[in-house]
Structure formats: C-alpha cells, structure tokens
Amino acid sequence: MDSANIEQIVKQVLKEMTGGQTPDANAPAGSAQAKGAIPKTAHVAMLTSLEHFDVKEFPMPAVGDGDILIKVEGCGVCGTDAHEFKRDPFGLIPVALGHEGTGEIVAMGKNVKKDSAGKDLHVGDKVVTCMIFKDNPDITMFDLNKQNVGGADVYGLLPDDDVHLNGWFSDYILVREGSTVFNVSDLDLDSRILIEPCAVLVHAVERAKTTNILRFNSRVVVQGCGPIGLICIAVLRTMGIENIVAVDGEAKRLEFAKLMGASKTVNFKDYKGIEALTGAVESSFDGHLADFAFQCTGSPVAHSNIYKFIRNGGGLCELGFFINGGDATINPHFDICSKEITTVGSWVYTLRDYATTFDFLKRAKGIGLPIEKLITHKFPLEQINEALKTNLKMEGLKIAIVNK
C-alpha cells in the first residue's frame, strides 16, 4: 500500500467519524483550524461592581480569519487589577480583567501564520499577548523600542463589547486581528504567567543601561522587595551583577531577596534615621555607596531616601510609581546637583522587552534562581474574589488564577 492509499483511507475513516464534515468542524468559525472539542460557551470573570466579580457564561464567539481562540491556562493578579477591584479608577466596570495571562491556541483563522516575532504559530502552541496597536498600523515590531505600552490597548483592560472574551480571568479568550502574540511554548506555565511583570524589570534595566553607569561589576541597591523589586534583583543577577543590596522592612521578603540573588540585605526598620540607614547600606558594600539604585516602592519617603545611598556620579532608576503616590521631597543641591546623579524613569515595557524577557526567564532558571516561587498562591477561576482579597491583604507575593 503506498502513501497515497493510506491518505485516502485516513480521509475516509475521518469522514465516517465526523458524519461527512471535516475535523475542523468543531471550530466556532468555518475558516478556523481547531483542536479538540471546543465548548459552546466560555466563562469570564467580570468585575460587575466594586470588589465583586461574577463568573458569567457567554456563547463561544466565531473565530475570524485573523483571530486566535485561546484556552486560558492561567493569569497573574496585578496591582492594576487590585486598583480596579477596589476603586475602578479607569471607569471600566463591567470589565473582563486579567492581563498577565497565558494559554493554548485551540482555533485560529486562516490568515494567522506567525507570531509577532516571526515564529510559526499552530493550534496547540502556548502563547501570551502583549499590546494591541489597532489604531496605529505604522508601528512595527522594530521601532517599538521608541514607545512603551502607554497609549496602547491591552487584553484585560478593554471596555466590554459583544464578544466579552476580552480578559484572561476566563477559560477562553478571543485574540483579535492586529494584536501582538508570542509563541512561548518552550516556557513552563509558571514562567509564562510571570512574563508580564518580568517585562517591567527587563525594561527598567534597559533604561538603567542607557546611563552607561550600570555595569556587570556595579554595586547596586534595590529598594523595595515586593514582586517588582525581587524580579529586579533576578534580572540584575542574570546580567552578571553580584553585588546587590536589597532594602525592605519585611524580614520574609528580605529572605526571598537572597534567593533571587541579593548578596546582602538591610531591614530599614532596624535603623533610626536616614544617616544610620545609609551607614548600613554603605557597610553592606564594604564601606562604599552604591553605583546605581533601583527604587521599587510606591513610597515618597523611599524616593527621598534613595539618593543618600548613591555615590557621587552614580545613577538611579525610579520605577516605583506606576500610579500617582504623591510628592516626594528632595534637596536638589545635596541629592542631585552636587553629586551629579543621572536619573531615569521607567514605566511598563515595549514589545522588544517581551522578547528579552523570554530569555531572561530561561537564564534565571539556568543559574538556579527559583523564579517560580514568586507565585505564592493559586486560585481557580471560581475563587477570583478571594484571589483579589488575598492580593489586597498583601499576603504572599504573586497571586495567580490557574484553570483546571
């Protein structure tokens, strides 16, 4: 029997099994290739009022020629989700939240062939999304280093529409034509859930490098050991920096900072006044001040303090104020001018940082940093209200929704 005959027989058997239809008939749209049986409905956790999600059921939408239907595996809870849950500052309610998500392609339109980096895409691949630049078709992958995510749309922070499958706190999400998508099948689920917050730090370190002060042998202070500061330490460690002092007020978080690669830690609660605290940082660097500092708290006092830890001619990356946390007092003469400090701000990330982040996660594992331990709590979708409350109580580090 030759291969043409085998193909014929396979086709015949499949025809009988599917009642004359092609195996793609499960796809919600005729043109889409699909994997397995796709249910007729999807479940989406909608924030319907302050501090309350309802898990709603919606019809599975049609998959257009440029669309991708993804079965969601998991999604991290971000500080932004917590702000939405508590106060809805963006006025989005009712909204499908969740932007740190990942899942498996179960159906895709015939025009979808490659991801945003040019890698092939197939049904069964594991993916993440980044920004949506529908309104600005001139932007390409290669000039995105000029522009961060500000001004772009993101799944998980979109207004509700007729499709409803717009956020990753769900069991299915429909990624529409024009969105950025990355094939990250070579990363495990925990790593994929951590991509978005890690991209924030990859970007911050890229911003820091533009000062030409941050080098492989620099002495670096990381102030604030929440998820942001902890990932910052890991990113620095993977670029070969070994002399990292972590500052926080929580002993448990400082212990975690060591796991992420900090060489020394300073608990600011052990010192009275900024001079004593500066002395503690200095002695952690064997009598030197820091060459470079990363400010990873949302505390104005912490911003005021950090200049004291930096040597003359050193650098600072301020990334702790994703939202307005109020004014901070500094002395321009002592803190910046006479010390010739170079400061950069960092806010979210660019598409380019996403690609770097995938490698960062592999390198971090490669040098034995237990990045996945940042995910301290996993909740099923039905317990999303509890997940958000756990986040607000600041229990643990990264809280994630993980589907069965």
Ligand X SMILES: NC(=O)c1ccc[n+]([C@@H]2O[C@H](COP(=O)([O-])OP(=O)(O)OC[C@H]3O[C@@H](n4cnc5c(N)ncnc54)[C@H](O)[C@@H]3O)[C@@H](O)[C@H]2O)c1
- Residues found near ligand X in the complex (CB under 6 A): 79, 200, 223-229, 247-250, 253, 268, 296-299, 301-302, 319-323, 346-348
**Closer of 220 and 399 to Zn ion (Cβ):** 399
Tell the residue number behind the tokens 């060459």, with chain if given: 291
Among residues 105, 120, 101, the alpha carbon closest in space to that of 32 is found at: 105
Q: How far is the CB of 176 from Zn ion (least distance, A)?
A: 20
Q: State the residues that interact with Zn ion by CB under 5 A.
A: 78
Report, in Å, the least distance between residue 155 CB and Zn ion: 12
- Nearest residue to 128 (alpha-carbon basis) of 303, 312, 295, 353: 353
Closer residue to ligand X in complex, CB, 347/379: 347
CB contact set of 24 (below 8 Å; sequence gap of 6+): 32, 33, 34
Residue 394 CB, nearest approach to Zn ion (Å): 16
Q: Please give the Cα distance from 140 to 67 (Å, whole number).
A: 19
CA torsion through residues 127, 131, 134, 136, sign: negative
Eight-state DSSP code of residue 11: H
CB of 74 to Zn ion, least distance (A): 14
374 binds, among Zn ion, ligand X, none (CB under 5 to 8 A by kind): none
Task: Tell me the closest approach of the beta carbon of residue 364 to Zn ion, in angstroms.
Answer: 19
**Interacting partner of 297 out of ligand X, Zn ion, none (Cβ under 5 to 8 A depending on kind):** ligand X
Partner residues linked to 345 by β-bridges: 318
Nearer to ligand X by Cβ, of 66 and 79: the residue is: 79
Q: Determine the Cα–Cα distance for residues 381 and 400; give it in Å rounded to an integer.
A: 10
Among ligand X, Zn ion, none, the one that 115 touches (CB under a kind-dependent 5 to 8 A) is none
Pick the closer one to ligand X by CB: 132 or 296: 296
The token duo for 274 is 């900024």
200 binds, among Zn ion, ligand X, none (CB under 5 to 8 A by kind): ligand X
| Length, in residues, of the chain | 404
CB nearer Zn ion, residue 82 or residue 330: 82
